[in-house]
A and B are shown apart, each in its own frame.
Chain A
Amino acid sequence: MAKDEYREFRLVGTRPDRPDGLDKVTGRARYGADMTAPGMLWGAVVRSPHAHARIVKIDTSKAEALEGVKAVVTRADLPTGLTGEDWDLQENTLAGERALYDGHAVAAVAATSALIAQEAARLVEVDYEVLPHVTDVDAAMAPDAPVIREGAADPTVPEGMHPNVVKYFAFDHGDVEAGFAQADLVMERTYKTEATHQGYIEPHACLGQLGSDGKGEMWVCTQGQWFIRRMCAAVVGIEAAQLRVTPSEIGGGFGGKTTIFMEPLSLALSRKAGGRPVKIVMSRSEVLRATGPTASASMDVKIGMKKDGTITAGKATFRMQGGAFPGAPVDMALYCAFAPYKMPAVECEGFDVLANRPKCAAYRAPGSPMGAFAVESLLDEMCRKLGIDPMDMRMKNAVREGDRAAYGPKFGSIGLVEVLEATRAHPNLSIPLGLNQGRGIASGYWFNHGGETSVSMAISEDGTAQVSVGTPDIGGSRASIALMTAETLGIPYEDVRVNVVETGALGVNEPTHGSRATFASGKAAVEAAQHAIKEMCRRAAAEWGIEPEAVEWVDGAAQPAGPNAGKFPPMTIAEIAGKMGSTGGPISGHHESVPGGVGESFGCHVVDVEVDPETGGVKILRYLVVQDAGRAIHPSYVEGQYQGGAAQGIGWALNEGYIYGEDGRLQNPVFLDYRVPVASDLPMIDTVIVEVPNPGHPYGVRGVGETGITPPLPAIANAIQAATGARLTELPMNPPRVLAAIKAAKAG
């Protein structure tokens, strides 16, 4: 049933204006680079032009001599002795002995104007001894590959592997060989995906201040102010609670703004400049060269299938590089790859590999798109070989509640079957296709996430409510949290104000990541509201002189229940709030937890393409996203997540990708050549919101942000084969690759 045709709730499921809409259409909303402070300095960062080089010497004297320059910092200005992830973060913030990738920061300056800071950065003289480098994942594992960091491997790595392999990961169940023996068709292929960037339009920006007393402030565009606080504190050597981090409005993140890059430099510069605030705004090329792209992958997949489409076994070996530090999401990729299917037997292993590239950061469903590209592409090819409808195959093997996931645990309530049924029923599937056109289908999966959450809610004197959350609003979460809070309290949507607050105002919150803001902050806000309701019922009971248990909360008012029903008129939230000062003081609610009950989200996409057989150009004719939201709190922003995820996946599939030269330098660090989809590249993106409520959330929310980026990669590859007969196994599927594949397919 279409979302807007029925109403289970008063507010949940409606489409009110978002609370921050006015600020954002008038230019008033303040983002990372929009803040200034008295006495402010401007920072600039000196970056390595080499993919791998020993830093022989850094001479800052000319920069320091420039009029207007107030501070220059190098690694020598940061504390020593960090270990593990903290060391990685510090090393990535500012190179130590070696620059590990093109764009790696080696020094930073602060000056009285942006132009002077840039000039000073040019005056910092760095002597490099250029070292051999490697940027490709398979090359980085080869015996002759240069070693990026000796001793970086963790104990999981089997003996005899190249030192660049820093983590090994494996799981299996069932008898894979027996499964392949039962199959009528066994196919095996190797796939490659290139690193892509989250491509948020707002470059990283921060305004940091740190005094010699170790107390600091920061204004920063981030998905997670507490992550920024903890990481910055570690890197510059201060206590976490002494740093107060305020999140600005955020111009997109997609996972890329869950970690630190130049933020600690603003603090280190400020400390050295006598505590004057320092603003650092990255250029687009700094963003592309030195902030988190995703990993690149090389993947072998083998699948067995019976003639009727039953999958008998699957085997996957994934190799991923996530830059010069550990952290490629190879585990997530393997977990997600077979997730939509009942797998009698699987065998998966993965390698996390270092290469001379920037440290990867999370990007929308980290790992899932790569794994899906491999598995969903191979399944489609096998359906083609066996003459099976790919929708039938998906339905036949679909996981249901109680099934064991390919990666181990048993699924609770999930909505894959409902998603596949809705997909099959959609009119797009029966639109006839013309010459050079093809249709592709693929599924996708994401776990969703709970995470550390702290929310506080307070009733105002007039009976309105304010909610303080720690998850920055990237795509409308203020609206969804206000809807759920208002629904719970029984008051109008407009009576709730949701504030995204600084680190001093709440306990620790994980960022807006893992599709968790509406799930986790929403759930906590509902808990907090219920806490306040309980207190308001108690206040009413006290006034009426009855037991609190004999009071219930209905439509924004306390009313006597049970044997007392009807004895007193309902007492509204405004009445209770109006006298709270004399009835026991402020009324508030709060909730702190790592919420359980996370509900997984499956999706299925259908794409129609037209391929120009003479140029290899691929045009997206129409696009359909079907995904289980659990429940759509604000359907417009759920649709927006589906459409945005699909658009990013389309970009990844067709034209986005990091291009490194022989010299190891990034060749496309500008939007001119890092080709994200533009408005004229895309059609309208049709959406179907499937709602199989998550029993682990008071309103059934699963989380909708991430699954949508996963299916486009294989769906488009499948559609290109349908249109041309050519199978692409490497991303991006840009025109030269598609044309070459068409010619190869024709040559037989």
Chain B
Amino acid sequence: MSKIHVTTKVNGDPVEFLADPRETLLDCLRDRLGLTGSKEGCGTGDCGACSVILDGRLVCSCLVLGVEAQGKAVETIEGMAQGEDLHPLQRKFIEHAALQCGFCTPGILVAAKALLETNPDPTETEVRYWLAGNLCRCTGYDKIIRAVMDAAAELRGEAA
């Protein structure tokens, strides 16, 4: 099967890769571009570990083909911190012990970032429903929800 040349932007950088059209965007990020921060937990869109932002929209990269990324902009966990400066969500996740094994963490951080960009002041219920597609098996979600709410407060300029 012949591969297709794809030109796209990942975390602001122009990148190119050759993709078999059957390969998902997740496969291409991980195996073609070496961006292994996005994880595969299910391959069927049920766990959210592969969450990325595609042209401003939160998606599961396991449910997008690599060839569909042509001409688009992809944001992954690797682009979340600005140099040494962690995104407030990343800092709050460490501070609140909102991760145990850490495998679901990149997907949850990307999803939470997408939430706070559309809704800077979410209720606990809104956070829980927005993140319902991000499975975490370690934490029972408690500390994750607290970390997201706290990061939202910080981003709004409120003292935690």
Tell me the A residues contacting B by CB distance below 8 Å.
15, 17-18, 20-31, 33-34, 114-115, 198-203, 249-254, 281, 283-284, 474-476, 634, 636-637, 639-640, 643-648, 670-672, 676-680, 682, 684-685
Contact = CB atoms under 8 A, between A and B. Distances in A.
A677 B141 CA distance: 10
B70 interface: no
A439 B38 CA distance: 41
Given A475-B100, A644-B138, A25 B94 contact: yes
B141 to A, nearest CB: 5
Nearest to B42: A284
Given A27-B36, A201-B47, A679 B105 contact: no
B94 A27 contact: no
Contacts of A647: 137, 139-141
Contacts of A680: 125, 128-129, 131-132
Contacts of A685: 140, 142
A15 B139 contact: no
Contacts of A682: 128, 140-142
Contacts of B105: 24-25
A30 B34 CA distance: 12
The prevalent SS among residues of A at the interface is loop
B78 interface: yes
A96 B102 CA distance: 37
A475 B139 CA distance: 9
B102 A24 contact: yes
Contacts of A644: 100, 137-140
B135 A678 contact: yes
B15 interface: no
Nearest to B46: A671
Contacts of B44: 284, 670-672
Given A17-B94, A671-B42, A474 B101 contact: yes
Contact of A249 (B38, B86, B94, B102): B102
Nearest to A708: B140
Given A33-B39, A201-B135, A250-B103, 20 more contacts: A21-B99, A22-B94, A23-B102, A26-B37, A27-B35, A27-B78, A31-B36, A251-B104, A254-B137, A475-B100, A636-B96, A640-B97, A671-B46, A672-B44, A672-B46, A676-B135, A678-B132, A678-B133, A679-B132, A679-B134
Interface string B29-70: 011000111111111101101000000000000000000000
A24 B27 CA distance: 20
B152 interface: no
A27 B101 contact: no
A330 to B, nearest CB: 25
23 contacts: A17-B94, A21-B99, A22-B86, A25-B86, A25-B90, A25-B99, A25-B102, A25-B109, A27-B37, A33-B30, A115-B23, A201-B47, A201-B136, A202-B41, A251-B101, A252-B101, A474-B138, A475-B101, A647-B139, A670-B44, A671-B41, A678-B132, A680-B129
Contacts of B99: 21, 24-25
Nearest to A198: B137
Interface of B: 20, 22-23, 27, 30-31, 35-44, 46-47, 49, 76-78, 80-81, 86, 90, 93-97, 99-106, 109, 124-125, 127-129, 131-146
A17 B98 CA distance: 11
A25 B128 CA distance: 20
A31 B47 CA distance: 17
A98 B106 CA distance: 41
A201 B103 contact: yes
A474 B94 CA distance: 15
Contacts of A670: 42, 44, 46
B135 A671 contact: yes
The prevalent SS among residues of B at the interface is loop
B46 A643 contact: no
A679 B127 contact: yes
Contacts of A22: 86, 94
A474 B100 contact: yes
Contacts of B140: 640, 643-647, 677, 682, 685
Contacts of B78: 26-27
Nearest to A638: B97
A679 B41 CA distance: 16
B137 A676 contact: yes
Nearest to A288: B42
A636 B49 contact: no
B47 A671 contact: yes
A27 B141 CA distance: 19
B137 A476 contact: no
A200 B38 CA distance: 16
A676 B41 CA distance: 13
B77 A26 contact: yes
A485 B35 CA distance: 35
A28 B133 CA distance: 23
A200 B93 contact: no
Nearest to A30: B36
B39 A476 contact: no
A26 B106 CA distance: 7
A475 B138 contact: yes
A202 B39 contact: yes
Q: Which 3 A-B pairs have the closest CB atoms?
A: A27-B37, A251-B103, A24-B102
Contacts of B146: 684
Contacts of B31: 114
A640 B46 contact: no
Given A26-B78, A252-B103, A643-B143, A201 B97 contact: no
Contacts of B46: 284, 670-672
B44 to A, nearest CB: 6
B61 to A, nearest CB: 13
Given A26-B77, A201-B41, A250 B101 contact: yes
A25 B97 CA distance: 11
Nearest to B99: A24
B97 A636 contact: yes
A27 B77 contact: yes
Contacts of A15: 97
A645 B142 CA distance: 12
Given A670-B46, A682-B140, A27 B97 contact: no
A684 B104 CA distance: 19
Given A31-B103, A200-B137, A115 B142 contact: no
A679 B145 contact: yes
A603 to B, nearest CB: 14
Given A115-B22, A251-B39, A680-B128, A201 B137 contact: yes
A26 B141 contact: no
Contacts of A676: 135, 137
Contacts of A253: 101
A248 B135 CA distance: 21
A284 B128 contact: no
A366 to B, nearest CB: 17
